[in-house]
Amino acid sequence: MKKIVSLFFAVVLVFNLCACSATATKEKPVLTIQRSEHESFTYNKEQPVIEELEKRLNIDIQLETYPSADYNAKLNIQLGTDDLPDIVLGTYTSLAQYAAQGMFVNLSEHMDKLPNYKATLEKYETLANAFKVDGDMYWFIQDVEKGSVIGGDFPMVRKDILEDIGWEKAPDNFEELYEMLKAIKEYDPNSIPFVTRGTSVLSRMGYSFGTYNNIYFEPDEGKYLYGPIYDHYRDFLEYLNRFYTEGLLDPDFASFNKSMWMEYLTSGKSFFFFDNSSFSTDINLVTKSVDPEAAFVPMLTLENNYGSRRNRLYEGCGVSPLRNDVWAISSNCENLDAALAFMDYLYSDEGAMLCSYGIEGVNYDVLEDGTIEFDQEKIDWYKNNANDPYREYCNEIGVGVLAVAGKIYSENWYEFLDQDSLDMLAFWEKDEYLQPYSYSLCLSAEDTAAIADISTACSTLVSSESLKFITGTRPLSEFGDFVEELKAAGAETIEEVYNKTYQSTLN
Amino acid sequence: MNLAIAKKSKQNRNKICCGSKLPVWVKRDWQLYLMLALPIAYYIIMKYIPMYGTLIAFKDYSARLGVWGSKWIGLTNFKKILSEPYFYKLLRNTLLINFYCLLFAFPASILFALLLNEMRFKRFRKVAQTVSYLPHFISTVVVCGMITNFLRTNGGLVNDLIALFGGERISFLTKPEYFRGIYVISEIWQHLGWDAIIYIAALTSISPELYEVASIEGANRLQKAIYVTFPCIASTITIMLILRIGHLVSLGYEKIILLYSGTTYETADVISTYVYRRGLLTADFSYGTAIELFQTVISLILVLCANWVGHKISDTSLW
Amino acid sequence: MKRIKALAGKHKMNWFDYLNCLIMLAVIVAVIYPLYYCLIVSVSDGMAVTRGEVTWKPIGIDFSAYKAVFKNAQILRSYGNTIFYTVLGTLINLVMTALCAFPLSRRKLRGRHFLNLMCLLTMFVSGGMIPLYLQVKALHLLDTIWAIVLPGAISTYNMIILRTFFSNIPEELFDAAQIDGAGQFQTFLRIVIPLSKTIIATLVLFYAVGHWNGYMSSLLYLSDSSKMPLQMTIRKMVIQGDIASMTTGNMSGGVSETLITENKLKYAVVMVSVLPAVVIYPFLQKYFVNSVMVGSIKE
């Protein structure tokens, strides 16, 4: 047996030697770029932008893409075996612990070669600090500059139901919201006025209500809080418990998935949701096919019981232009200079224009006053034939946040949007209470390890007990015990770790 | 080709028989050992050499340093796992779900194979056999989507039926007491036909003469099933049973995550789902490997016991 | 076979046969309806599907989901890749599994217990994905077809099934072969393999389906998109990860999914991947009804 084993080791060794001598150097530097492939965006040879990038920078780009659902599995094995391609896309919070291990090029050491990216970082100084690991920057943050396409968790209501129940204007605070839902239930007893995507209501609506079901940044107090150990959370559970017992929420709401959620909203069973507002485009398409008046419209930010108004935008839009997805260069990259030059180019104005709108003169023209004009025929074709004209056009030419891009301009797309979306954007532009996305902090490796078990234990407790309180299987009088359980599991330690890290990013 | 090999082997055989003083078992079985060479090489290269990876469980694994270079942390991970009271709940849930599958889903496929075997209409039998294994190909996401759709309180098929017969609608998906039942039934639905294939294959090897003899001796169908059919597939059943018992502590996370919610954690949260949720916060290879190693140890103990019992009772053994 | 039929013909149908038919009918209905549901959803109007109106019959026939699946530039190539991987992979699986199972089924083989245990152990003990990945990399198999077919060349589970089957072959056959002067290998090829058609058909099914549905090894070991199998291409098109959005609450904004076609596409994909299984099964099924073994003993 030993002989066999040693024989195989020998074979493996020989293989290794052969391979080392076989790698030949090419003239053009090759860059392997890896990213996830979103379902609504496919990479193919016809997209002109990648070719243009290769030509402009005299490099050879090898694009490797994986399904977004499986991307983390792929990335994890690559990170776990230190076998990364030259440039990878990932979420900065999950890459942070590997940066500390030295798996990525520390960009702070190469800032002299990155003038454009340096300028971008300087523009967002305080915001960009959250992305640093131990004070160093390891990644190129995707920057959706001049972000205007707004998305976030907002309250949305069917406008025709308000007329039906005789309300002149939409609710302005959470109590009125409750009254409205009750009125809808009375008007149509078979309806389930409020539908949620599973338990995500705890975070989506929770923030607006003045709490959260996990660790979060509380702007009113200027620090991180573990939501469920405070009385606001109790009030929120009580509020939802009322919904549940009065039939304003579905008895199965906790197990609702996206398609069931869609079904309730499009079949006239539900009239209100508090979720990703951009879904309304698709929902309205279906509801309007039956009744042209039936459409979900946004409501202004509600006032909560504690006197504040807040709704949170998603990352990568409006006042939060930076995205959680970042590009990092592997420490094993053989063409570091080419990689740095390539990435920096994406942040130059020329590169940003290319990755946002395509090739000048081919995909768009710049008018004398500096505005950008697309081919009207293209716009018409996409508006008539596509479900989602803007994104499908982006896919055709290979631009936008789902492509290979660093800095992205997201204005000038208005012509691709339908009237509903434009109205919605105009509506939110007036809303002064929209709050920026709060970027997660990069915890140090020790902190991450220290709170991994605590966080899992706490969130398990929160998920199971919150629902018990809402459905009434556990009386709210026991909320104090629940808080004690959470504290015993270490909820306060999580707060400490986050606030400590937060303080260090302020300096 | 075959002929050439045969001739050659004959020559070799003669040579060995006449020439050397090798032991009898080598002379007799050298061809068998030769056949085993490739498979054993496979097992060593692809299975045994990578087993050094279990060391990760005892180390603070860092990919830059590699498995060997990472720092030893001893039993820290195991202490962490075993000192967590919630872990025993996870272990209990994992075992119970698997146990119910063993209790219901496992015999169901055997029964299904036997019933197919007794089916008199050949064409009907063929259709049933072909159709029954198709759910195996439907992806878990779609299966779970259908389950939630059928079971929901408002407008779900099952609850509509209950209401039709005057019963009260039940919120199946949010009550912890129903979770295991839902899981096991959906497992049966998905894998009944697929799992039966192996028994159907075993049933085809039963000699018709055995049935004839039994008929002559006046056995009725039930007796034939008990005294002829069942003993003939008993060894297959035993092997399958032992293997199943070996996997009592492991359960995939995908299906459970799609079916459970906070309200059903009490019965539905299992080891793999917990590790999955933890993995969303941090990719901790050492912790994951430690859990796997723990499961391995239990699996091995279970298999050894099951095999020992199997060997005693039916003289069937895995090795 | 004919004799059984004749035998059965003599008996009258009794209550048991009726009950049996009823049970089978129930199974068929329970199994067919969800598949039928997939089919009707995949061909119905997306809006009706979204509203949850499709339950018994398709509403507003619309094949756009299938068009979308086959419009994808990579789908045909990846279909071809999958067929290639499945054929080559299954072939390697069968040869390796048989080579392993036959010697281990011979009771007189020295060291059999040790070798059996050695194979069996791998079902429970594994080093995990990281060392296997490193091993595949060290062997220079990354991004080659061999990374797909070699690491899983033998499924120990299937090996045990085959071994159990081999060990049930009557010993007299081997004795007879030995008297005729056949070597072990010859016996294996001439006697054992022909007797094992049923179980080999079963393994073909098990292995081929595994390759057909498998995407994990291609996800881990392949990077060139032109080598990707069907399942990977499909996973790129359809949102499989409801899981992620259920647990974390999908917070990434600015990216909406086309919800209306999503469900339909999901179900169309089910149909596309079930289809080959429906097509190949009847070819294999004839091996599941013949009693091969006995006939050959008599000869």
Q: State the residue range of the domain holding A85.
A: 27-143+324-410
Percent pLDDT > 90 in chain B is: 37
For residue range A196-229, what is the model confidence (pLDDT) as tens digits? Answer: 988 889 999 999 999 999 999 998 899 999 999 9
Radius of gyration of chain B (CA): 26
Q: Tell me the fold of B76-314.
A: MetI-like fold (1.10.3720)
Question: Could you tell me the CATH number of the domain that includes residue A375?
Answer: 3.40.190.10
For residue range B125-141, what is the model confidence (pLDDT) as tens digits? Answer: 888 888 888 888 888 88
Are B53 and C291 within 8 A, CB to CB?
no
- The span from the CA of B87 to the CA of B298, in Å, is 15
For an interface test with C, which of A12, A81, A322, A456 has the most C Cβ atoms less than 10 Å from its Cβ? Answer: A81
Asked if residue B288 has pLDDT above 60, the reply is yes
Closest residue in B to C97 (Cα–Cα): B39
Which two structure tokens, joined as six digits, stand for B35?
């056949």
In a domain, A364, yes or no: yes
Query: CB contact, 8 Å: B4 with chain A?
Result: no
Alpha-helical runs (H) found in A23-164: 48-57, 71-80, 92-100, 115-123, 125-129, 159-164
For chain A, the domain total comes to 2
Q: Between C84 and A400, name the one with better pLDDT.
A: C84
- The span from the CA of A416 to the CA of A388, in Å, is 9
> Of all helices (H) and strands (E), which one includes residue A6?
helix A2-22
Q: What is the pLDDT of residue C6?
A: 45
Same domain, A200 and A301: yes
Mean pLDDT of C200-204: 89
Nearest to C232 among A67, A266, A278 (CB): A67
Same domain, A53 and A170: no
Q: What is the pLDDT of residue B20?
A: 58
Mean pLDDT of A396-421: 82
Which domains occur in chain C, in start order?
2-62 (no CATH), 68-298 (1.10.3720.10)
To the nearest whole Å, the CA of A366 is away from the closest chain C CA by 25
Asked if residue A150 has pLDDT above 50, the reply is yes
Are C224 and A74 within 8 A, CB to CB?
no
Mean pLDDT of C222-243: 78
pLDDT band, very low/low/confident/very high, at B108 (cuts 50, 70, 90)? very high
In a domain, A266, yes or no: yes
Are C140 and A15 within 8 A, CB to CB?
yes
Q: What is the pLDDT of residue B18?
A: 47
Same domain, A198 and A269: yes
Q: What is the pLDDT of residue A117?
A: 95
pLDDT band, very low/low/confident/very high, at A149 (cuts 50, 70, 90)? low
Could you report how far apart the first and last alpha carbons of chain A are, in Å? Answer: 62
Same domain, A103 and A44: yes
In a domain, A459, yes or no: no
Which two structure tokens, joined as six digits, stand for B292?
């796997």
Nearest to B265 among A79, A269, A460 (CB): A460
pLDDT band, very low/low/confident/very high, at A459 (cuts 50, 70, 90)? very high
Same domain, A53 and A177: no
**Which pTM was predicted?**
0.87
In a domain, A94, yes or no: yes
Radius of gyration of chain A (CA): 26
Same domain, A181 and A267: yes
In a domain, A491, yes or no: no
Question: How would DSSP label each residue in C219-287?
Answer: HHH---GGG--HHHHHHHHS--THHHIIIII----S----HHHHHHHHHHHHHHHHHHHHHHHHHHHGG
**C283 in Cβ contact with C208 (< 8 Å):** no
Same domain, A44 and A122: yes
Closest CA to C296 of C162, C161, C177: C177
Count of beta carbons in the 10 Å neighbourhood of residue C71 = 11
**Neighbors of chain C with 3 or more C-beta pairs under 8 Å:** A, B
Q: What is the mean pLDDT of chain B?
A: 86
Taking only residues 106 to 135 of chain C, the set having a beta carbon closer than 8 angstroms to any beta carbon of chain A reads 129-130, 133-134
In a domain, A499, yes or no: no
**A269 in Cβ contact with A191 (< 8 Å):** yes
**A131 in Cβ contact with A326 (< 8 Å):** yes
Own/partner long-range contacts of A106-113 (Cβ < 8 Å, ≥24 apart): A106/A136, A106/A137, A106/A138, A107/A136, A107/A137, A107/A138, A107/A139, A107/A140, A107/A329, A108/A135, A108/A136, A108/A137, A110/A340, A113/A337, A113/A340, A113/A341, A113/A344
Domain ranges of chain B: 2-72, 76-314
Q: What is the pLDDT of residue C170?
A: 85
Which amino acid, residue C239? Answer: I
Q: C-alpha dihedral over B286, B289, B293, B296, to 10 degrees? A: 170
Beta-bridge partners for A313? A152
In a domain, A503, yes or no: no
To the nearest whole Å, the CA of C247 is away from the closest chain A CA by 8
- The span from the CA of A72 to the CA of A325, in Å, is 12
Could you give the ipTM of this predicted complex?
0.84
Q: What is the pLDDT of residue A113?
A: 94
Same domain, A196 and A94: no
Are C27 and B132 within 8 A, CB to CB?
yes
Mean pLDDT of A446-470: 91
Same domain, A78 and A186: no
Taking only residues 232 to 251 of chain C, the set having a beta carbon closer than 8 angstroms to any beta carbon of chain A reads 232, 235-246, 249-251
In a domain, A341, yes or no: yes
Q: What is the pLDDT of residue B157?
A: 85
Domain boundary among A435, A468, A498: A435
Local structure of A102: helix, strand or coil? coil
Are B137 and C103 within 8 A, CB to CB?
no
Asked if residue A8 has pLDDT above 50, the reply is no
Q: What is the pLDDT of residue A392?
A: 79
For an interface test with A, which of C259, C261, C267 has the most A Cβ atoms less than 10 Å from its Cβ? Answer: C259
The sign of the torsion formed by the CA atoms of B308, B309, B313, B314 equals negative
Q: What is the mean pLDDT of chain A?
A: 86
pLDDT band, very low/low/confident/very high, at A88 (cuts 50, 70, 90)? very high
Are C128 and B208 within 8 A, CB to CB?
no
Mean pLDDT of A468-480: 94
Are C291 and B137 within 8 A, CB to CB?
no
Q: What is the pLDDT of residue A19?
A: 43
Q: Between A157 and C72, name the one with better pLDDT.
A: A157
Same domain, A90 and A173: no
Q: Which residues contact A385 (CB under 8 A, 6 or more apart)?
A: none
Are C250 and A276 within 8 A, CB to CB?
yes
Q: Between A117 and C213, name the one with better pLDDT.
A: A117
